[in-house]
Amino acid sequence: MKYKIIVVDVFNTLLNGKCELTEENRNALIAIQRDLGIRVVLTSGRATAALKPLAEELSLSEYSGYLIPYHGGQVVNCRSGKTIASHRMASSLVDQLEARALAEGVTLLSFCKDSIYATAPADPLAIQEAEICCQPLVPKRPTSADVIKCSFVGTTEKIAEMEVVMRRDYGDRLNIFRSSETLLECLPVEVQKIQAISDLLDKLDFSRDELISVGDSYCDVEMIQLAGLGVAVANAREAVKACADYITTSNEESGVAHLIEKHILNEYEEVPFSVEDVNSIVPGTLMDSLGIRCTKIASGYVEATMPVDIRTRQPMGILHGGASLALAETLAGFGSVALCKPGEIQVGLQVSGNHVSSALEGDILRGEATIMHQGRSTHVWSINIYSTKSGKLICTCRVLNTILKQR
């Protein structure tokens, strides 16, 4: 499988204009996690609290997804619930921004883990932002508060003026940009979505070519350009669309689901039989005994799952290496059968593997087989086997099949 992780901006990209998750987007994102093991990452300028209900609806804790709130100010592991990266603003700098807000007649919002401190808590724009972020609005900031980001809210004209002034006075100390006409964001200079995503790719040992990024606004441009497949929704600004590799349908038309259908689920050419056809011949075989089930089959690509349980584990409760090789040979066998011409059969000739990590009882393995060489008489397959719990690579294999004329 080409792509292993998808980073999706939330507001005006994943959610429609009513801030609703469509059924099509929900089903598509759950399917690629459950069936393909693709990691889903939600990113936004909003607070972590604003993203958690959506993370629950998409089962990110079950499938080891991540949240990147505050424009990259934090990274949250949904499975463990732990914040694995976080930045904070110097209290003295926040003091200066509060003074600037009072002098300019705008409101400064200081975002902390559990609350938002406002210089003018009765400001309707401040109240609206707090409601969107699902955090209480508090009037006075204690000096001990750990501020993750600050935002100026005000009229369109005033925020446009503030952007020029703030870039002039604080451009070397803060990352400053407008996320909407009435909202000017101020973050530590090192905080950027692209940096948080790059650090997460390194942590997961994924390459940028295995990344899909989807967004709509100027602050999404860098992550779109970083990805192997950078995508803009049709409602994105024209400058953002110009930077994308692909333009999907709008957020009102379930653009994320459309992207997934086109570039992930239909990445390979179809074969003359279905997953159901493959699984129908499994009962009573070794594959049945090991609990192997095919989940995707296409021209040159196969996926299957296998549980780590009493059938496939060692006495110590960890995966038996021989079961991994059986899964690998099964995947390659299914794949070669799909490529064979009428009158041809495939026979396994050689299987070799390297056991990279262990998997514990209760895990489910996901194997991916990709054709490396398709000759007239031989097929060479590369198989990677992953834990669906941790996402770690468990085993990597190479299988050689010979193609014979049926007698």
Q: Which residues are catalytic?
A: 329
Tokens of 92: 């003295």
Query: Please, is 79 exposed, middle or buried when counting C-beta atoms within 10 Å of its C-beta (0-12, 13-18, 19+)?
Result: middle
CA distance 15 to 9: 9
C-beta neighbour count of 362 within 10 angstroms: 11
Report the DSSP beta bridge partners of residue 187: 175
In sequence order, the 6+-apart residues with CB closer than 8 A to the CB of 133 are 46, 47, 49, 50, 111, 116
DSSP 47-65: -HHHHHHHHHHTTTTTTT-
Tokens of 332: 């390659």
Query: Please, is 315 exposed, middle or buried when counting C-beta atoms within 10 Å of its C-beta (0-12, 13-18, 19+)?
Result: exposed
CB 359 within 8 A of CB 388: no
85: left (phi > 0), else alpha (psi -120 to 50), else beta? beta
Beta pairing, strands 364-374 & 378-387: antiparallel
CA distance 276 to 398: 26
Amino acid symbol at 246: Y
CA distance 296 to 109: 48
Tokens of 355: 């056991």
CB 193 within 8 A of CB 72: yes
Report DSSP state, residue 248: E
Nearest one of 37, 40, 4 to 21, comparing CA atoms: 40
CA distance 225 to 238: 15
CA distance 76 to 101: 30
